[in-house]
Structures are given as C-alpha cells and as structure tokens.
Amino acid sequence: MDYFHYSGDRLYCEEVALDRIAEAVGTPFYCYSERTLLRHLRAFQEAFRAVDHRICYSVKANSNLAILDALVRHGAGLDIVSGGELERAQRVGCPAERIVFSGVGKSAAEIRAALTHGVIMLNVESEAELYRVNAVAAGLGVRAPVALRINPDVNPRTHPHISTGLKRNKFGIPHGRAIALYTEASRLANVVVVGVDCHIGSQLTDLAPFIEALRRVRGLLSQLRAAGMDIRYLDVGGGLGIPYGEEDAPPSPAQLAEAILTELREEALTVILEPGRAIVGNAGVLVARVEYVKSGEEKQFIVTDAGMNDLLRPSLYNAYHGILPVVRRFDREEVTADVVGPICESGDFFARDRLLPGFQEGDLLVVRSAGAYGFSMSSNYNSRPRVAEVMVRGERFAIVRRRESVRQLLENEQLFPGEA
C-alpha cells in the first residue's frame, strides 16, 4: 500500500503532482512519500506490539538523513553496517539503545566507534571478529554486548545474490559451530553475550524459510540458556519482500509477526527486526524524462535520462520494476519496448519487452518501487552526478539531497605532480 496515485491524468505523490516537482527540481530524481514510509513502520510496530520489540530499520536500504529522521522520530531504531551509517544514526539522534551493528567486515575503528557511542549489540559474524571485538573493548576498558549471527543453512528461495543464510554464503557462523563459539565468547573478559542474530536474505516472499530458520535458532537458544547464558535479544533480521509486480503478494508484517510469535510464544526475549525494503521500497519512485524514442531493427527503445548508475537493481538482479507515465494520455497507442538509460552498457535497462503507453520525447515516467536499494546503490559511473532526492509530506515537498554537480564529482581528483 502506498500513496502514489493518479488524480485525473496526473500521477501524484500524496497531494503533490510529480510533474510539478519535476519542473522545480529537474530530472532525474527520487521521490519519497513520507506517509508511506511511516505507514509501513507502523505496520511493523503494531504487528509486534504484543511483545517487547525493537524495529531497527536497515539503513543501507535507503540512508537519506530525512528518511532516517522521520523513522527515528516515530520510534524506529536503526540497523547499521558501517562507521558511515553510525554517523548517520548519530546525526538524526538515534538513541544508542535502538541501534544494532551488523556486517561481515567490521574494522577495529568501526567497532571502537560503535562501542564509544553505545549500541544494543554488535552482531558478530566470525571467530576472528569476536576476538577483535574483545580486544577493542579491552582497549576502551568496557565490555562489548554481542550476539553471534547464525547461518542456519536454510534456502530463502530468493535471488542468489540476496540470499545470505546458506552454507555457501559468506555470512554468519555455521549453525553447527555456534555452541562452541558462544562458549568461547562467554569466557572472554571484555564481551557480554546478550543475543542471538539471524538474517537469511532479502525480498523473501514466503514465510516458510523464516520459520525454518527460527526453529533452528530456538533450539540453539535453549541450549545457551541451559548453559547459563543470559540471552535477552533475538534478532530475526530483515528480508520481508514487497510487491514489485501486480501479481506479487508477499506476506504482510502482521503475517510475519504471527509466524515469529507462534514460534517464540513462551520465550522471555526482546525481539529485534531489521526491515529495510519492506519499509522504504514502495515509498519511493525514480522520476525520469524520455530523451529519445528509438526504433531498432527488432525493438523499440525508450531512452531516459536516468540510467543503471541511478537504479542498479534491474541490471544487477534482473529485477522487475513497474513503469508508469507521469501524465496519462489515452489517445496514444501502446507499444512493446525496452526502457533503457544513457549508460554505455547493454545491461543498462529498467524494463525489457514491456507493453507500455506510447511515450514520446520529453515525457516524464516513473520507475516504481525504487525506494530501497535505489539511491543507496547508485554510483557516478559514466561521470554522472548522482540525482536529487525529494521527500513529500502531504501538500509539501522538499529536496532532501541536492543533485550532485560535476564539480563535486571531480573535487577529490588531481593530476600526478609534475617535475617542473
């Protein structure tokens, strides 16, 4: 459910027409609906209200400060994966008791920063990281709260690039080695074991893998408790899928909650969730202008001013994104075409062989469901400045990240110093 809708023939984000924003800020740009964002957050909060819980939004899905600020002000915590994301969390005043630190390659500096600011826990992904956390904490004279991220070896049945809970994935500690490493952790002087963590993948459209993973983790939990460890947090990760196409019907946060809480009924725990995509994915669109309509020998191409550097998901995962006209025209015939960008790569596309309205040069279009892993994965490939980001709140909109300039892009570069 989102707040992008047609009124007459114009596409609106909440109460603002997208062509009006395009006129004001130019194209391409990302447009986010704050109301959609908060609606999704609330869906999680309500789904889990029967138990002690923290909704720690996964910052990497979309790390714009205005988005983080809106979520944190409405009670969300944050799941961070780098020192940069920690700074963002600090910038929006996210309380330490609402932050979890995930990630497979935390540097000593990042661990130090997290322990200095304070976090609920560090989700540790390897034996080597455990020893590093212990050493850094010792240097600071503190005890680091940790969870071990368990790789339960379940198949999330999603795209291989976004599955993380299989033996062959780099993430987490193999399920079979968990007890030994927890025992080791409980012996270290500068760590405190406080939780268990598990995140099996992204864009999951079926509850079965969540349940399977949870059952494995629950088995572990009782063993740890029997061994006298005080496990207070169970972090079940993120990963809930969203509808990208009309036929997609992923589980709702309420259905996810029911499945999780059924498994955890009698456990005295704080449940942590790390949703990213499910909060922000359908709260954002990418707005672009048609530069050219081109007839190839076999195909029609609609060339837009946005490219794979702005939204990588179709190129990277062959992901489906809906395409809509910003102004509907019923007098034009539909065509089957590819929507492509200006980048010098054949993988630079947003849609392939899609039945579309008859776009013409200068028309505006939106690429839907682009709020998650859109801007945050964008790059400057082909020396293209990154696009502007706009947030809508009711009848108002604001630029929440200015369009980059080419000058900013070249700022850090210099020629090799000459001899004379």
Ligand X SMILES: *Cc1c(COP(=O)(O)O)cnc(C)c1O
> Known catalytic residues?
344
Does 238 contact ligand X by CB under 6 A? Answer: yes
Separation CA 412–CA 43 (nearest Å): 43
Q: Which is nearer to ligand X, 76 or 290 (CB)?
A: 76
Cα gap 111→419, rounded to integer Å: 42
Applying the rule CB under 6 A, the residues between 200 and 219 that interact with ligand X are: 202
Of the candidate spans 66-74, 210-218, 238-246, 293-301, the one that interacts with ligand X by CB under 6 A turns out to be 238-246
CB of 237 to ligand X, least distance (A): 5
Scanning 108-116, 236-244, 295-303, 323-331 for contacts with ligand X by CB under 6 A, the matching segment is 236-244
Instruction: Name the 3-class secondary structure at 213.
Output: helix
278 near ligand X (CB under 6 A): yes
Residue closer to ligand X by CB (options 169, 190) is 169
Amino acid at 116: T
Using CB under 6 A as the binding rule, whether residue 276 contacts ligand X is answered as: yes
323 and 356 Cβ atoms separated by less than 8 Å: yes
The correct pick among 98, 277, 321, 368 for binding ligand X (CB under 6 A) is: 277
Of 162 and 399, the one with the shorter C-beta distance to ligand X is 162
Report the C-alpha gap between 72 and 74 in whole angstroms.
5
Distance of CA 182 to the CA centre of its chain: 29
CB of 145 to ligand X, least distance (A): 17
Least gap, CB of 74 to ligand X (angstroms)? 18
Q: Which stretch binds ligand X (CB under 6 A): 212-220, 274-282, 291-299, 300-308?
A: 274-282
Between vectors from CA 345 to CA 339 and to CA 347, what angle results, nearest 5°? 55
Q: Could you tell me the smallest distance in angstroms from the CB atom of residue 360 to ligand X? A: 36
Residue closer to ligand X by CB (options 199, 232) is 199
Query: CB of 292 within 8 A of CB of 339?
Result: no
**Closer CB to ligand X, 202 or 315, in the complex:** 202
89-128 residues in contact with ligand X (CB under 6 A) are 102
- Residue list 139-198, contact with ligand X (CB under 6 A): none
Which uninterrupted H or E stretch holds 350? strand 349-356
Q: Is 2 in the site for ligand X (CB under 6 A)?
A: no
Residue 233 buriedness (CB in 10 A; 0-12 / 13-18 / 19+): buried
Site string for ligand X, 58-87 (x = CB under 6 A): x-xx-----------------x--------
* Number of residues near ligand X (by CB under 6 A): 17
For 131-162, the DSSP string reads HHHHHHHHHHT--EEEEEEEE------S-GGG
The residue among 372 and 392 lying less far from ligand X, judged by its C-beta, is 372
Binder of ligand X out of 237, 250, 314, 374 (CB under 6 A): 237
- Compare residues 172 and 357 and give the one whose CB is closer to ligand X: 172
Q: Which region, judged by CB under 6 A, interacts with ligand X, from 63-71, 130-138, 275-283, 395-403?
A: 275-283
User: Shortest CA distance to 127 belongs to which of 85, 80, 188?
Assistant: 188
Q: How far apart are CA 415 and CA 412, in angstroms?
A: 10
Closest CA to 163 of 126, 210, 111: 210
**Identity of residue 62:** N
Min dist. Cβ of residue 72 to ligand X (A): 17
Length of the chain: 420
Give the position of tokens 């369009």: 403
> Contact, 65 vs 89, CB < 8 A?
no
Q: H or E element: which one contains 230?
A: none
Burial class (CB in 10 A: 0-12, 13-18, 19+), 147: buried
Angle between helices 253-264 and 34-47 (to 10 degrees): 20
Closest separation between CB of residue 24 and ligand X, Å?
Answer: 30
CB 225 within 8 A of CB 266: no
Among 88, 199, 354, 393, binds ligand X (CB under 6 A): 199
288 binds ligand X (CB under 6 A): no
Q: Is 339 helix (H, G, I), strand (E, B) or coil?
A: strand
Among 239, 250, 314, 371, binds ligand X (CB under 6 A): 239
DSSP 78: E
What is the maximum alpha-carbon separation in the chain? 76
Using the rule CB under 6 A, give the single segment among 137-145, 276-284, 292-300, 332-340 that binds ligand X: 276-284
Q: Which stretch binds ligand X (CB under 6 A): 43-51, 53-61, 292-300, 390-398?
A: 53-61
| Residue 240 vs 306, nearer CB to ligand X | 240
Written as six digits, the tokens of 239 are 């990963």
Q: What are the residues binding ligand X (CB under 6 A)?
A: 58, 60-61, 79, 102, 199, 202, 237-240, 274-278, 372
